[in-house]
Amino acid sequence: MVRNVAPNVDDTETLGTASKKYKKIHTKDMRLTGIMIDDASKQATIAQLITANNTSEINALTEKTSIAAGDLFIIEDSAASNAKKKLLQSTLVASQTDMETGTSLTTFVTPGKQYFHPSACKGWGKATGAGSLTVGYNMDAVTDTGTGRLGVNITLDMSSANYAIVSSVESVATSLAVASVDNGGLIYNASPVAGSFGIWNYDDTATTHVAQDPQSYFWAIFGDGV
């Protein structure tokens, strides 16, 4: 028989078979755990009993549904013989720099930081031919700057004028007559700057074409945001 009885014992807990071969005696503050094995032919380990007790203690904790910058997480470090260590919330959540670099495989992404990844769309929108914003993301406003022209203003600017714009238009009719065929989606010459750009649309009338408003404009932008 092996006995290891810790001070300040407040109760016992039965483990194992109905014949109560294994018992655990623990202290009130749970910092010490004692093991009593009545039958030497049965095997039990301190680690197993402590693990069972820790699981119970963890399940009894109050759940927190959101994390704050100063919160700590307790982990077992697999690179240090599973030694208990602490992590700060700031070491787990990807920063803007982490997102812009885009190489970390150990931090996780929050919705507010996803925007900064190089592959992320920085903004998109749809507007009527008359220059009214229908729907969009990170779009401040649009302006009808002339027949067949739309000015687009970005809410959170890009870091420079060096970004990609993908655009297209919806035709004004289903006919393939020259006046109904829209050749839109062009980015107006020299219009892109960090906070805005312009889209141009025209039909197939005559040699030089004729500017006209499409049914709708569409666009999306990619690059480095601020």
**Chain centroid to CA 194:** 25
Q: Of 83, 114, 145, at which residue does a domain stop?
A: 114
- Please give the pLDDT value at position 142: 96
Same-domain pairing of 204 and 129 = yes
Q: CB of 59 within 8 A of CB of 51? A: no
Better-scored residue on pLDDT, 68 or 193: 193
Cα distances from 143 to residues 7, 124, 133, 150, in angstroms, run 78, 15, 9, 6
pTM reported for the whole predicted model: 0.60
Most confident of 15-29, 32-46, 195-209: 195-209
| DSSP string for residues in 8-47 | SEEEEEEESSTT--EEEEEETTSS-EEEEES-TTS---HH
How far apart CA 95 and CA 200 sit, in angstroms, is 37
pLDDT tens profile 96-109? 888 888 888 888 88
Same-domain pairing of 25 and 91 = no
Same-domain pairing of 125 and 207 = yes
Helix (H, G, I), strand (E, B) or coil at 189: coil
Same-domain pairing of 8 and 94 = no
| DSSP string for residues in 98-165 | HHHH---SSSB--HHHHTTSTTSEEEEEEEETTS-EEEEESEEEEEEEETTEEEEEESS-BSSS--EE
Q: In terms of C-beta density within 10 A (0-12 exposed, 13-18 middle, 19 or more buried), how is residue 15 classed?
A: middle
Same-domain pairing of 35 and 102 = no
How far apart CA 219 and CA 123 sit, in angstroms, is 8
| Domain span including residue 208 | 121-222
pLDDT tens profile 135-148? 999 999 999 999 98
Give me the residues paired with residue 169 across strands.
Answer: 217
Residue with tokens 């720099």: 97
Same-domain pairing of 77 and 9 = no
Residue with tokens 């109050």: 62
Tell whether 35 is covered by a domain.
yes
How far apart CA 167 and CA 148 sit, in angstroms, is 14
Q: Lowest-pLDDT range, 40-44, 101-105, 201-205, 207-211?
A: 40-44
Tell whether 64 is covered by a domain.
no
Q: CB of 20 within 8 A of CB of 2? A: no
Pairing of strands 33-37, 2-3: antiparallel
Same-domain pairing of 193 and 125 = yes
Same-domain pairing of 193 and 131 = yes
Same-domain pairing of 105 and 128 = no
